[in-house]
Amino acid sequence: MGEVDILISGGTILTLDENETKIEDGALAIKGDTISAFGSSKEIELLYSGEKTINARGCLVMPGIVNGHTHAAMTCFRGLADDLELMNWLNNYIFPAEAKNVNEELVYWGSLLACAEMIRSGTTTFCDMYIFEDETAKAAKKAGMRCLLGEVLFDFPSPNSQSPAEGLDYTKRLIETWEADPLVNIVVEPHSLYTCSPSLLRDSKALAENYGVPLATHLLENRGEVEQLHDRLGKKATLFLRDMGLLDDHFIAFHCVCMDDEDIKLFAEHGSKIVHNPESNMKLASGVAPVTRMLDHGVPVGLGTDGCASNNNLDMMQEMDAAAKLHKVFTMDPTVMDAKTVLKMATAEGSRALGMESEIGILRQGMKADIVIVDLNQPHLTPMYDEYSTLVYAANGSDVRDSIINGRIVMENRELLTINEKQAMDKVNDISERVKRGMVPE
Amino acid sequence: MGEVDILISGGTILTLDENETKIEDGALAIKGDTISAFGSSKEIELLYSGEKTINARGCLVMPGIVNGHTHAAMTCFRGLADDLELMNWLNNYIFPAEAKNVNEELVYWGSLLACAEMIRSGTTTFCDMYIFEDETAKAAKKAGMRCLLGEVLFDFPSPNSQSPAEGLDYTKRLIETWEADPLVNIVVEPHSLYTCSPSLLRDSKALAENYGVPLATHLLENRGEVEQLHDRLGKKATLFLRDMGLLDDHFIAFHCVCMDDEDIKLFAEHGSKIVHNPESNMKLASGVAPVTRMLDHGVPVGLGTDGCASNNNLDMMQEMDAAAKLHKVFTMDPTVMDAKTVLKMATAEGSRALGMESEIGILRQGMKADIVIVDLNQPHLTPMYDEYSTLVYAANGSDVRDSIINGRIVMENRELLTINEKQAMDKVNDISERVKRGMVPE
């Protein structure tokens, strides 16, 4: 009988693989950081004994959720300013609050709090863009979360760098520092086409190619940006990206609200990826991304929450629900964005969008053991006709009972094992008091 | 010093009254079924001692949430059929499942499970329409929930009545049976203008007037209904309602997705009320109700989840989030449907929409003690800049810690005190097995 580290037994396993394999009364064996086997409980329990066993009877066992785009440290600004016109929100609240307050301490504790919230709601991997990202990497490492993150780059100074060159240099150091880390992965992240010169974009691409890491940016988030870019670039943004050599299968674009079929086809032809952020796009009235057409063209589309200042939580279960419903009413077709499609955007397709599909996103022998267990034994998840539908339309993040990342149990029975939650909340509350004192009255 | 039954102390009280009174470190005293006083903890603790005290430090204390439109017993069909075209969904799944399975047992246990879910997510009052509603009334009574409910009436037979006359008679008995009940209120509920003849509508109105109860119906839920009604009635539905004498301040309409300004003005002129169901309207691709224009015209608009077959949960916290975000992106204006407006739709305005504003919806001396306590001490609700924003955009139903209805504690520290949850889940699971066996394969 094989010895494994963890044996999860008795739950319904949703692998989310290409056959949508589902195993009722299933078991899954984890050795080290890897899924070593799965099958019926009867079969797996005969073959393996686990040093640690988890009883998942009455639960769903599924791949950890991938939050494809966020700004983790912005938990510190959650609810600071809402229901405002975009430029008023940015220029009079968010940017001044960031300029005055963002430092290494804020980013570390804000990111750690975000990790606590993400683990509690089923996310095991997140893709992040912010300032002082080495602190976010340290927080993720502390939390035991998998991540793909990069320092935000733009033409103007940030609290962490005086120039684009300093930002690129910081990114280079991030890549080298975290190169061998099993959890932390780095991406080069110019902020957007409207805040980065062609030369910064070129240097970003050179850095990414040199180290073989992806490049990601905000793109076409709203109508104003489309017009601004057309004036600035003299052509459509996607054609500009293609001509600059940025569009390839290492390119990830966040938002992509204002894309026409030509833009989508360009992405499809070049193997580029998109992360959709429905709740943020709704809350900021940015618009509705043409996700169903992106999927029709075979573009990998992941799902993300965006930062807490424009959502205002990091609950990917709620994000799935919003994504499914938004596109149904937007297209006036209730059959689009069915529960399976949306659950995949948050797992298998989400990992493809980040270029991590060889490691995570589905449950299969040899994949990294990033697994969450959802407790079905609750009034709002009763009865059970369809697991996909239950997860997307009825569940919320608080229904996640256990979480395992890279073979390590990070939450058990709703208790976080890697983070001192109270300390993280206290620190962020202290930071928020400073932020409040620094706010200019309206 | 005055003796009271319950003293809630130390929390931040959101009264949601017309001045949006907020009391930090506040206390609230309950005697019998009524709020007898509230103010600062210091002041109230000097004046009153409570037989039972609830420590609400680190919590929000707010009016219980009003779910303005649901079909409680449909928890039994949660997730049975999703992502389908409306008529396929109704005619091939929901109607056959109902015709085969709906009986008194299903309605009682489905409704009791719904009450468990609603209490757990902060709802203290719900407005219900279904079949065998006396069972829903009994379930609400058992759960200790406040409700306004009615038997669905239409021209064709239901599992509970062979004719419209039988349905009206059942409704009359409901009114008489529950007349003196402190929690259960009855409404006359013809299903819709496309399933009820003018004569049934006229008889419904006469019954409602005779007993002084409101009349409620589904109205203008999608484009198809608008066209069908215009053909059938020879005029606009709202003009037909006015000409029939149905439009008055005892008239409540559910959905109202397809309303133009003339329709809205008619409602405003007659004091009629609307309940908005954003998640159901999104999921069924019915469309987006012009809620901001309804509010501009002063029409009372409440918020509801609709039934579990088209949502698929009864979580009003998530419904608030969806409502706020949907209308921002639909109008392309991030300032509309701000957090306060939406929270009021789920409380103070929700009670107005149901004609219950003299009893519930705000916290004030003399109002019924329907109160929920939300636990803020959680990563996804940290930090705190604005309570309204936190409730609407960051919280979910699972954050509700305690619930008091009509002066009775029905949930304490997430434990339900009135319902045997396990029994309700077991019963509904058994019922769902019967439903599955009876489904014709696709």
Same domain, B82 and B206: yes
Nearest to B389 among A76, A79, A318 (CB): A79
Contact partners, residue B207, CB within 8 Å, separation at least 6: B168, B171, B172, B175, B188
Question: What range defines the domain where residue B379 resides?
Answer: 2-63+362-415
Half-sphere exposure of A420 (CA within 13 A, CB side): 5
Would you give the distance in Å from CA A45 to the centre of its chain? 34
Q: Give the model confidence (pLDDT) of A23-66 as tens digits.
A: 999 999 999 999 999 999 999 999 999 999 999 999 999 999 99
Find the residue in A nearest to B382 (Cα).
Answer: A425
Spell out which residues of chain A touch residue B390, defining contact as CB-CB under 8 Å. 78-79, 312
CB < 8 Å to A332, chain B: 285, 287
Q: Kind of pairing, strands A34-40 and A65-70?
A: unpaired
Instruction: Classify residue B384: in a domain, yes or no.
Output: yes
Cβ pairs bridging A and B (under 8 Å): 218
- Domain with A379 in it: what CATH number? 2.30.40.10
Q: How far apart are CA B32 and CA B375, in angstroms?
A: 25
pLDDT surpassing 50 at residue A188: yes
Does A301 lie in the same domain as A368? no
**What is the DSSP-derived secondary structure letter of residue A441?**
P
Q: Tell me, what's the pLDDT at A183?
A: 98
Show residues of chain A in contact with B283, CB under 8 Å: 324-325, 328-329, 334, 393
Contacts of A74 in chain B (CB under 8 A): none
Give, as one character, the DSSP assignment of residue B398: G
Q: What is the pLDDT of residues A216-233, one digit of tens each?
A: 999 999 999 999 999 999
User: Are A132 and A108 contained in the same domain?
Assistant: yes
Question: Angle CA(A84)–CA(A90)–CA(A92) in degrees, nearest 5?
Answer: 80
B144 within domain boundaries: yes
Measured in degrees and rounded to the nearest 5, phi and psi for residue B338 equal -65, 165
User: Quick check: A46 and B357 in contact, CB under 8 A?
Assistant: no
Q: What is the mean pLDDT of residues A320-331?
A: 98
Residue A427 forms part of a structural domain: no
Is the confidence metric ipTM above 0.95 for this complex?
A: yes
Taking the C-alpha atoms of residue A254 and residue A216, their distance in angstroms, rounded to an integer, is 7
Most A CBs within 10 A among B86, B89, B385, hence the mutation to make, goes to B385
Contacts of B337 in chain A (CB under 8 A): 83
Residues across chain B: 442
| B82/A339 Cβ within 8 A | yes
Is the peptide bond prior to A383 cis by the omega test (within 30 degrees of 0)? yes
Do residues A78 and A312 make contact, with C-beta atoms less than 8 angstroms apart? yes
Identify whether residues B166 and B118 lie together within a single domain.
yes
**A133, A194: one domain:** yes
Q: Is residue A19 one of the residues assigned to a domain?
A: yes
Under the phi-then-psi rule, with left for phi > 0, alpha for psi from -120 to 50, and beta for the rest, what region is A266? alpha
CA distance A195 to A153: 8
Dig out the tokens for A46 from the structure.
């005969």
Same domain, B94 and B227: yes
Mutation for testing the A interface, residue in B80, B93, B312, B434 having most A CBs under 10 Å: B312
Instruction: Name the residue among B121, B283, B383 with its Cβ closest to that of A325.
Output: B283
Q: Does the beta-carbon distance from B328 to A386 stay under 8 Å?
A: no
CA distances from B422 to A153, B132, B402 (A): 53, 23, 19
Block residue for tokens 């929690």: B183
Structure token digits, residue B292: 């901001």
Two tokens, residue A19: 């056959």
Calculate ∠ Cα B110-B114-B115, nearest 5°: 120
* Number of Cβ within a 10 Å radius of residue B87: 9
Residues of B in contact with A386 (CB under 8 A): 79-80, 82
Chain-wide mean pLDDT for chain A? 97
Substitution target in A93, A223, A276, A385 with the highest count of B β-carbons within 10 Å is: A385
Residue with tokens 């001490």: B377
**Dihedral sign, Cα of residue A67, residue A68, residue A70, residue A73:** positive
3-state SS class at A199: helix
Cβ contacts of B436 on chain A, cutoff 8 Å: 385
Is residue A265 classed as helix, strand or coil in its secondary structure?
A: helix
Helix axes B104-120, B421-438, angle to 10 degrees: 130
Last residue of a domain, one of A317, A336, A353: A353
Give which of B70, B75, B82, B311 to mutate to test A binding, by max A Cβ within 10 Å.
B82
Average pLDDT over residues A356-367: 98
> Under an 8 A CB cutoff, do A334 and B394 touch?
no
Residues of chain B found within 8 Å of residue A116, distances taken between Cβ atoms: 379
Residues A283 and A372 in one domain: no
Residue written as token pair 């639960």: A59
Give the nearest chain B residue to A84 (CA atoms).
B335
Q: If DSSP codes are grouped into helix, strand and coil, which group holds residue A266?
A: helix
How sure is the predictor about A261, in pLDDT bands with cuts at 50, 70 and 90? very high
Strand bridging mode A371-375 / A400-405:
antiparallel
Task: For residues A288 and A201, state if they share a domain.
Answer: yes
Same-domain status, A48 and A169: no
Q: How far is CA A49 from the centre of its chain?
A: 34
**Sequence-ordered list of residues with C-beta below 8 angstroms from that of B55, at least 6 positions apart, any chain:** B9, B10
Which DSSP symbol is given to A367? S
What is the CB neighbour count within 10 angstroms for residue B197? 13
Using CB atoms, pick whichever of B76, B313, B396 lies closest to residue A398. B396
**How many domains are there within chain A?**
2
Distance separating alpha carbons of residues B138 and B125, to the nearest angstrom: 14
B56 and B69 both lie in a single domain: no
Test A82 with B393 for CB contact under 8 angstroms: yes
Q: Do A384 and B116 touch (CB under 8 A)?
A: no
- Contact (Cβ atoms closer than 8 angstroms) between residue B324 and residue B109: no
Which phi and psi angles does A415 have, rounded to 5°? -100, 125
Residue B116: both structure tokens together? 């468990």
**Nearest-CA distance A338 → chain B (Å):** 5
Q: Cβ of B79 and A383 within 8 Å?
A: yes
* Residues A59, A71 within the same domain: no
Written as tens digits, the pLDDT of chain B (442 aa) is 799 999 999 999 999 999 999 999 999 999 999 999 999 999 999 999 999 999 999 999 999 999 999 999 999 999 999 999 888 998 899 999 999 999 999 999 999 999 999 999 999 999 999 999 999 999 999 999 999 999 999 999 999 999 999 999 999 999 999 999 999 999 999 999 999 999 999 999 999 999 999 999 999 999 999 999 999 999 999 999 999 999 999 999 999 999 999 999 999 999 999 999 999 999 999 999 999 999 999 999 999 999 999 999 999 999 999 999 999 999 999 999 999 999 999 999 999 999 999 999 999 999 999 999 999 999 999 999 999 999 999 999 999 999 999 999 999 999 999 999 999 999 999 999 999 998 754 4
For residue A442, what pLDDT is reported? 42
In a domain, A421, yes or no: no
Query: Pairing relation of β-strands A215-219 and B301-303?
Result: unpaired
Q: Is residue A420 part of a domain?
A: no
Are B73 and B112 contacting, i.e. CB atoms less than 8 angstroms apart? no
B129's CB contacts (< 8 A; 6+ apart) are B69, B71, B149, B150, B151, B152, B189, B191, B216, B254
What integer pLDDT is reported at residue B438 of this predicted model?
Answer: 84
- Which candidate from A83, A286, A429 shows the least CB-CB separation from B338? A83
- How close B389 comes to chain A (CA, Å)? 6
What is the Cα–Cα distance from B71 to B350, expressed in whole angstroms? 17
Residue A12 CA to residue A40 CA, distance in Å, equals 9
Which residue of chain B is at minimal alpha-carbon distance from A288?
B329
What is the SS3 assignment for A12?
A: strand
C-alpha span between B264 and B274 (Å, rounded): 10
- Asked if A315's CB is within 8 angstroms of B380's CB, the reply is yes
Residue B438 lies in a domain: no
Q: What pLDDT is recorded for position A290?
A: 98
How far the first Cα of chain B sits from its last, in Å, is: 68
In CATH, what number is assigned to the domain containing residue B198? 3.20.20.140
Same domain, A133 and A203: yes
In percent, the amount of chain A with pLDDT more than 90 equals 97
Nearest to B383 among A313, A389, A432 (CB): A432
H helical segments located in A212-345: 223-233, 237-243, 261-270, 278-283, 291-296, 316-331, 339-345
The tokens 């990992």 sit on which residue?
A351
- Asked if B83's CB is within 8 angstroms of A339's CB, the reply is yes
Q: Does A294 score more than 60 pLDDT?
A: yes
For residue A437, tell me if it sits in a domain: no
Mean pLDDT, residues A255-260 taken together: 98
Q: Which residues of A15-116 form beta strands (DSSP E)?
A: 22-31, 34-40, 48-55, 59-63, 65-70
The length of chain A is 442
- Name which of A96, A69, A178 is nearest A170 in CA terms: A178
pLDDT band at residue A440 under the 50/70/90 scheme: low
Q: How confident is the model at residue A85 (pLDDT cuts 50, 70, 90)?
A: confident
